A = this chain, B = another copy of it.
Amino acid sequence: MSTVTASSATTTRTQFVQARNETYAYRRFGSGPGSPLVCLQHFTGTLDNWDPAVTDRLALERDVILFDNAGVGRSTGTVPDTIDGMAAHALDFMDALGLDRCDVLGFSLGGMVAQRMARERPSIVRRMILVGTAPRGGEDIMRLEKPTLARHLSDPMLKGYAVLQKIFFAPTVSSQAAGGAFIERLAQRHEDRDTPSGSGVAAAQMAAFREWEQWTGARFGDLKAIHQPTLVVNGIHDEMIPVSNSYRLAEHLPNAVLLVYPDAGHGSLFQFHDSFTRHAEAFLASDSPFAPY
């Protein structure tokens, strides 16, 4: 007997929707009064990289929608080499589902896409959670060649999810233990799994990071135009997208609360999933025009 219900990232079947130009793979589960929550994924991540401890809890009060951008997992098309291109696909996907207003959870790469969506079509985003991400013009974004990351990424003994335990979590006993629990939760899904990302996905997404580091005009100036209530979240020891980028988001977004976790890296939302989902639920449940919750 399993206690997993249909409202779980672990068991929900993958669906496909034909949009303007592409067919996108997605999973939709949950119920409740909240706005649908569209989840935008990290570098090389697929539908199988969302932690059920986060998504299933959030699905108790709303539809949760996980989504493969173009060229990722089983979505058709080519991976864009700009964040703008990815945001256009995300909007196409939402149009295909008939979603004209939703909440957005953007993690890492997905948080950049979320910012572009909010700029491109402000009416579609009600509230936004940006985890482990950076504004355009951010610094030290996904420099996988730095020793703290490269030693894990080049380790032939680390296969599949195991590398995520190393690079998403801090090098402490407590954080690594949380990382171990995280990859066990990911491994619970056995059927209807997504196509893992290859080097082509990684190369295009890495190009998008490099382009995102460029800016024109006032640095971080475009954030002033994003008025949606926003919750910015990070781990204090994030080696992949350093926490300074979250500071800049909080300083330049006019309506953002910043929440930073100790003893945590890029995957702070997975390490502290109980706390993160409590904060996310309180933030998303608010109808205030102001971010504080």
A5 CB within 8 Å of chain B: no
Measured in the bound complex, the distance between the Cα atoms of B237 and A254 in whole Å is 11
Taking A236-B251, A247-B247 as contacts, is the C-beta distance between A292 and B262 under 8 angstroms?
yes
A226-259: CB near B (< 8 Å → 1, else 0) gives 0000000000100000010001001101111111
B258–A254 contact, CB under 8 A?
Answer: no
Contacts of A247 in B (CB 8 A): 243, 247
Copy number in this complex?
2
User: Measured between C-beta atoms, what is the minimum distance from A119 to chain B in Å?
Assistant: 18
Taking A236-B250, A236-B251 as contacts, is the C-beta distance between A262 and B272 under 8 angstroms?
no
A161 CB within 8 Å of chain B: no
A163 CB within 8 Å of chain B: no
A-B contacts, 24 listed (Cβ < 8 Å): A174-B290, A236-B250, A236-B251, A236-B258, A247-B247, A250-B260, A250-B262, A253-B262, A254-B262, A255-B262, A257-B259, A257-B260, A257-B261, A257-B262, A258-B258, A258-B259, A259-B259, A261-B292, A262-B290, A263-B290, A274-B292, A275-B292, A278-B282, A278-B293
